[in-house]
Amino acid sequence: MSNRKTKEVFSLDALRAGDRAEFARLVETYYEMIYRLALKMLNDSQDAEDILQETFIKAYQHIRNFDGRSELSTWLYRIATNEALMQLRRKRPQTFSIENPEFSDEAEPEPVQIVDWCCLPEEELISAEAQARMDVAIEKLPASLRVVFVLRDIQGLSTRETGEVLDLSETAVKTRLSRARLRLREDLSSYYAERLGEENRP
């Protein structure tokens, strides 16, 4: 898991006292994971860089309030996620539709694309074109589903950690993750089905 690569051994006392070297170490350890999170959330490298910088500026300003009950990585994720969601709200308000998956009892729509595309060759599955489609598919998700998918499946956080970052119950995390994955599956399937069709054409 990416945020477990380096065991968190930071001196909270030094961080709280404003120790620059210790803060630099914190930045070094976590900047990549924060940047990736922001990039997946916003699909724009300039926006992602802004979020990255804002996250650590806020972290430096507020480290005194960090109570040490959660892990530092979780705390950083929380700041970054809030920043990313605010940025999305500003720039792409349509991702915050009235749809609120947490309160909606509506089941996921039935799968439409029933195509077995798993046999496509790897270079086809992750071609540049396919990767662009994958990014678009994430962008189409409402923000509330997108953030759960990015934290759980891309950043590799556990259900519990994702719930901590987002203040959600584990059940809510699982429900949102399921809906996000099913939508992405649907979207990718329609793309790969086209690819399969082309491959089989004489």
Partner 1 sequence: MSAHQSCRHLLASLSEFVDGELDEKLCAEIERHLADCENCRIVIDSLEKTVSLYQTVSKTETVPDEVRERLFHRLKLDEFLES
Give the residues lining the site for partner 1 (CB under 8 A): 20-21, 23-24, 27-28, 31-32, 35-36, 39-40, 49, 52-53, 56-57, 60, 107-108, 110-111, 113-118, 125-126, 131, 134, 153-154, 159, 174-175, 177-178, 181-182, 184-185, 188-189
Pick from 121, 155, 122, 162: which is nearest to 138 by CA? 155
Rounded-to-5 percentages of helix, strand, coil across the chain? 70, 0, 30
CB nearer partner 1, residue 122 or residue 198: 122
CB nearer partner 1, residue 28 or residue 99: 28
User: What's the min distance (Å) between Cβ of 69 and partner 1?
Assistant: 25
Measured at the CA of 36, the angle between CA 24 and CA 46, to 5 degrees, comes to 90
CB 188 within 8 A of CB 133: yes
User: How far apart are alpha carbons 164 and 159 in whole angstroms?
Assistant: 9
User: What's the min distance (Å) between Cβ of 4 and partner 1?
Assistant: 15
CB nearer partner 1, residue 29 or residue 95: 29
User: How far apart are alpha carbons 19 and 169 in whole angstroms?
Assistant: 35
* DSSP 8-state code for residue 36: H
Q: What tokens does 117 get?
A: 């595309």
CB nearer partner 1, residue 86 or residue 115: 115
CB nearer partner 1, residue 93 or residue 129: 129
User: What's the min distance (Å) between Cβ of 35 and partner 1?
Assistant: 5
User: What's the min distance (Å) between Cβ of 61 and partner 1?
Assistant: 11
Residue 156 Rama label (left phi>0; alpha psi -120 to 50; beta): left
User: What's the min distance (Å) between Cβ of 93 and partner 1?
Assistant: 25
